[in-house]
Structure formats: structure tokens, C-alpha cells
Amino acid sequence: MLQNIKELYGIKLAASDGEIGHVKDFYFDDASWAIRYLVVDTGTWLSDRQVLLTPHAFGRWDRDKNILPIKLTRKQIENSPSIDSHQPVSLQYERAYYDYYGWPAYWEGGGVWGIADFPAVDESLNEKDPPQHGHNQRDDLHLRSTKALAGYEIQASDGPMGRVISFTVDDKSWTIGELVVETGRWYAGKEILISAGEVERISHDDSKVFVKLSQAAIRQTAEDNVVKAST
């Protein structure tokens, strides 16, 4: 089920033996558009370090109580590999992190989650030899912050077309499906959705998201969505 990622910011995180904080941010992979890590605001607990949780640890989001269960103990999280709050997530850290929890590494295989399409821990997967191909074998990382991209300009093939304000995310596969875009004056400031598959590249230097679509194609997509919503 697709959710606006803004709905997840601030929700409480409950380990198996107590609360650990709330959702601060998400890091996603801009090659597969998978959410790789949730960034935890731990409050005064573990306040001297950045705490990351992968979707492998997520339980089912309780919308009534606005709580995301985490299938780990507080001690497991406390003893996990430490990463400085001001440092990027390195491949070396990710290897240590996945080794610590014993989860299948997403970069070892051709699927979004390595040798699976969902971040479920299946012991039988470890018995197979994962295929050594696909974008997950790269040495450079493409992790982006969902909050940091808010405000980035959408650059169509022939000009600007609004700015990113959020994303929709599948809460089963934990992949981003669409960018939520505020259109500005050309569409009365309304919000539209652009598929993540249409993104060509993201430029931090320019604070822009380049898409494969033309301005006319984006306008037509917006109009078609309005027609579908009204029928």
C-alpha cells in the first residue's frame, strides 16, 4: 500500500522491550528507489550517535496507535555498529551492520533486496548462492535523504516544472513509487505525482531532480489524473 512518506515522520518506534524514539528521516537508494534505512531520533537515549534501522527490522505499522514496531531489543540496537551523525553511510559500515544482524545484504543479488523482492528475513535464502550481478554490485553508494530532497526543483527535458515536497512509499516492499510535486503557478499550485521510474538523475549541486518527461508530458499526466479521479 502506497503511503505519503510525510505520514511516517515523527511516528513512534517500539522495540520488543520498550520505545526507542521516533522516525526522523529515511535514506533511499536512487538506483533502485528502495528505502535502505530509517533514521531514528532517539531523544536522550543514544543521543551521541546516529541510529539507523533497515526495513528488515520493521513490523506492521499500527496506524491507530501511530507506532512502528521494531523486531529488535534495545540492547541489540545499542550494540549495533556505530556511525557518526555527520558521516555518510559507507559500504564498510553497511557490511558491518548487516553482518551484525545476520541479515541478507541487499547488494548481493539482482533484486531490490538482494535475492528477494521484499525485506523479509528468510533463512532459506541464505542457503542459495546469490547471482553476482545488478546495480547492487556497485562500489559507490547512492543513498539520499528523503527530507533533504524536499524543495528540489523538478527539471523536465525542456524546463522547470515544480518542486519535490514528498514521496509515496510502498509499506511492504519499502520502495518509493512516486515523487509528490508541487506545481507552482502552471497548475495553480496543485500537487501531482511523477513516477520514480521517470527520474534520470539527481543533482545535489543544482538542487534539482532531472526527469525524462517534457513539460507537455507532465501537464498531460496531471490532467489525466484529474480526469481519472473525477470519473
Could you read off the pLDDT of 27-82 as tens digits, one per residue? 999 989 999 999 999 999 998 888 999 999 999 989 899 999 999 999 999 999 98
**Global pTM?**
0.84
Can you tell me whether residue 165 is helix, strand or coil?
strand
Where in 1-87 does DSSP place strands (E)?
2-4, 12-15, 18-29, 34-41, 51-53, 67-69
- DSSP class of residue 94 equals H
pLDDT tens digits, residue range 80-96?
998 877 677 888 899 99
Reported confidence tier of residue 155, pLDDT bands at 50, 70, 90: very high
- Residue 80's identity, in one-letter code, is S
Domains defined for the chain, CATH in brackets:
2-143 (3.90.50.10), 149-230 (2.30.30.240)
**pLDDT computed for residue 9 by the predictor:** 96
Query: What distance in Å separates the CA atoms of residue 119 and residue 224, rounded to the nearest whole number?
Result: 33
